[in-house]
Structure 1
């Protein structure tokens, strides 16, 4: 019997909750019937899911599973942890779950998590972000000056290059705020995010949080992770198309392997960098699609829309000050194509890593979250002189396991994780920038060769169509 059940009976004088197994818990994994286990207690979050600040889809991804590790990673005492635990007290506690004894790996990771907290690694360095703010302000000022004084193509291109660097650096801060990794106060970090995100870079923080948090929970799941669902443009593994396509539980639609998808995927290793150069335009589109989709529950929708309008207003006015159409186009396309380096940074830590299918990662109970992140993520090697360029994305494994941690403390956590992995025979993958790019191209080419020999399946022949028309 879990300690929590025994404790309740002894201290509150109430009947103990029924004890269920992990297999029985898995039966409650559907919309409208969402049970999750946290620290031995099973909660029915079916009704609460729609009110979850992170989005209903996150709880549905963890439905029927022990969500303890994910809960502790995202609800630390330095962020929303206190509020989350208060909410748990009001959710239906329907059962307790029998969990097998902790493994040596579980114990070691729990101790590491406690040490990270007790050693003050969640504490944010004010000086770090002050310096970062000065750097970003300098880039913005330089961009304004260079743009307003540009009188030839070369000057417009240079101004665009500085703007690209500004957009990249702002994105890193936006990433920090979306994880509540600066002040650890949700609203305060949201305000910083609205300024640095939709107002000055044109990307909705709400869209980013919704998509990115799902990516963190189900990293590299072919069916659930939106960050690897890019058909018809890309497919990092044949599992995304070998059965005629993939049903996305995030997008709620089929990514169909049709003739267009086959052609693009067959040559995706050639298209990768050109598409990354224009990927920012897609982020603009996705931002507007979310904020204008009133069927999706969203906090501060009006604020997000207003901030996006501010971005397009000031950027349009700035570009209009340039003396010719040629200079305006040179500035816009240079800035947005060079900003594509950011999209390479986003994909490089996961595109070449293994994938799996479904919402639950196959591993020993209690080890799923740790093993999932080590299996699906990799770091990039960096040094004191170029850490600024990567913006914290180079420490991807540590970040995925400790998503609320301030960026500047991730290197220390990486060292500790590497020691843990060495002691338990696990791989902590970390490669250089060029090798990381080479591995992406290799993975894309490998999938491309499979796509060329895979038959295109019409929608009427697909498994989805068969399911929709099943009888009996």
Structure 2
């Protein structure tokens, strides 16, 4: 295990030191007290920052900083940021001290707690080595040919859908169907592409990626770039953590995991409110209900966000998609109802594609309310699994069949994720961490199995509470 658990020092509990450390020494015990929205401290590379006033200015949103209030945010900081020198330059104004190297506050622990911390130290150390290996292998460098081909695919399918619509939709239902397939396929693939640009995987500077992100998210998909980045950053920061990860916030329609069903049952009894249906049948409702809800949520949330937050650049990037789409469809259909129906089905199939792929990586895993931050590796793998590699799986999932690697290295271009997989698997094996890989159809089916189990847990908890009243 390396150093003995009883020989831990405060310096062992952080990841690395930082040049030009502030002179003020602060204990971990003191840092942990400042874990509130109006009193927010974080630690990055031994430096303590008071980010209470900064968090509203944070480009990634204030919530992601609040998630790590009173905690060591070094690993999440390293995962999200590429331009380190620039970030440190601006962050210096918020430095208030450094972790006391002779801090004794974390040494007042049981042997079991010390062993747990020592294991985390070893995992973090080994993970840094894997990331360094990825950098040495050039895995954070994008293939411009790959992204050019992705751009061509999306634009070609979009143009083809309108060509088919103009030339065949008036005379053939098959023409309408083919146009529909090309349209939602273009938007689904644009979804995987915008995902890369949202993580700044292509260009060095985030703002340059932002411009391309506006094209794919706004002009092609008709959604808000800023809204997506805000929500997705929260998901990455605390995946599968109840109340923090927006991607598992499916109530009141679905319950997931083993903790949320019990919490939901308690709310049902306390508020004397029964759901629209018993959760014991949610696995039958999800196949169509899940995509339907995602379709409505996307349409409502993206416009609500840009209007409320006054994101006018996003609004400008979004509107052309709607203007072009409805102009083209109305020219052929000459009916607002038919145009709206075509649009809804396009969104429904696109939303279904996204929903099934995104959920088979996460809700089938551990969904919990434990906010204890262990290590970046443990946090991400706890709520994430992979699917097998094949040319179809890579295309169909946008390379998110390597979801584990993506969550560990969110800025890595997706076409390189499979190359780092052997090192990640080796690291997990060394530390006894369960690394799960499933076949595609098995992963999709597991969504229904997981929902069935969660529904049964809700029913058992609900019945037990009612019997005790």
TM-score relative to the length of structure 1: 0.85
Q: Is contact 1:222-1:246 (8 Å) kept?
A: no
Deviations 1:287-306 (A, max 9, x none): 01111114xxx7xx111111
Q: Does 1:208 align with 2:219?
A: no
| 1:125 alignment partner in structure 2 | 143
Q: What secondary structure does 1:415 align onto?
A: helix
Q: 1:24 aligns with which of 27, 30, 35?
A: 30
| 2:91 alignment partner in structure 1 | 88
| 1:147 alignment partner in structure 2 | 165
| 2:289 alignment partner in structure 1 | 275
Measure, in 2, the Cα distance between the counterparts of 1:155 and 1:327.
15
| 1:115 alignment partner in structure 2 | 133
| 2:114 alignment partner in structure 1 | none
Deviations 1:209-243 (A, max 9, x none): 11110010110001211110111111113522423
User: What is the CA-CA distance between 1:438 and the residue it aligns to?
Assistant: 1.9
The 5 A counterparts of 1:51-90 are: 51-76=57-82, 80-90=83-93
| 2:303 alignment partner in structure 1 | 288
| 1:47 alignment partner in structure 2 | 53
Measure, in 2, the Cα distance between the counterparts of 1:306 and 1:353.
38
User: What is the CA-CA distance between 1:392 and the residue it aligns to?
Assistant: 1.9
Measure, in 2, the Cα distance between the counterparts of 1:260 and 1:147.
46
Measure, in 2, the Cα distance between the counterparts of 1:455 and 1:424.
38
Q: Does 1:407 align with 2:425?
A: no
Measure, in 1, the Cα distance between the counterparts of 2:456 and 2:98.
49
Number of equivalent positions: 433
Q: What secondary structure does 1:169 align onto?
A: helix
Q: Is contact 1:36-1:42 (8 Å) kept?
A: yes
| 1:379 alignment partner in structure 2 | 386
Measure, in 1, the Cα distance between the counterparts of 2:130 and 2:17.
26
**Structure 1 residues 284, 162: closer, same or farther in 2, change over 3 A?**
same
User: What is the CA-CA distance between 1:311 and the residue it aligns to?
Assistant: 1.8
The 5 A counterparts of 1:339-418 are: 339=350, 340-361=352-373, 363=374, 368-418=375-425
User: What is the CA-CA distance between 1:315 and the residue it aligns to?
Assistant: 1.2
Q: Does 1:156 align with 2:172?
A: no
Unpaired segments of 5 or more residues in structure 2? 1-9, 107-116, 464-469
Q: Is contact 2:385-2:435 (8 Å) kept?
A: yes
User: What is the CA-CA distance between 1:357 and the residue it aligns to?
Assistant: 1.0
| 2:446 alignment partner in structure 1 | 439
Measure, in 2, the Cα distance between the counterparts of 1:347 and 1:260.
25
The 5 A counterparts of 1:145-224 are: 145-149=163-167, 150-151=169-170, 152-224=172-244
**Structure 1 residues 344, 201: closer, same or farther in 2, change over 3 A?**
same
User: What is the CA-CA distance between 1:41 and the residue it aligns to?
Assistant: 1.6
Q: Is contact 2:365-2:382 (8 Å) kept?
A: yes
Deviations 1:390-432 (A, max 9, x none): 1121111100110001111111112210121122222111111
Measure, in 1, the Cα distance between the counterparts of 2:442 and 2:289.
20
Measure, in 2, the Cα distance between the counterparts of 1:321 and 1:32.
54
Unpaired segments of 5 or more residues in structure 1? 248-253, 457-472
Which is richer in helix?
2
Measure, in 2, the Cα distance between the counterparts of 1:452 and 1:263.
12
Measure, in 2, the Cα distance between the counterparts of 1:7 and 1:171.
39
Q: What secondary structure does 1:34 align onto?
A: strand
TM-score relative to the length of structure 2: 0.85
Measure, in 2, the Cα distance between the counterparts of 1:316 and 1:260.
40
Measure, in 1, the Cα distance between the counterparts of 2:315 and 2:266.
32
Q: Is contact 1:122-1:405 (8 Å) kept?
A: yes
The 5 A counterparts of 1:423-434 are: 423-434=430-441
**Structure 1 residues 401, 7: closer, same or farther in 2, change over 3 A?**
closer
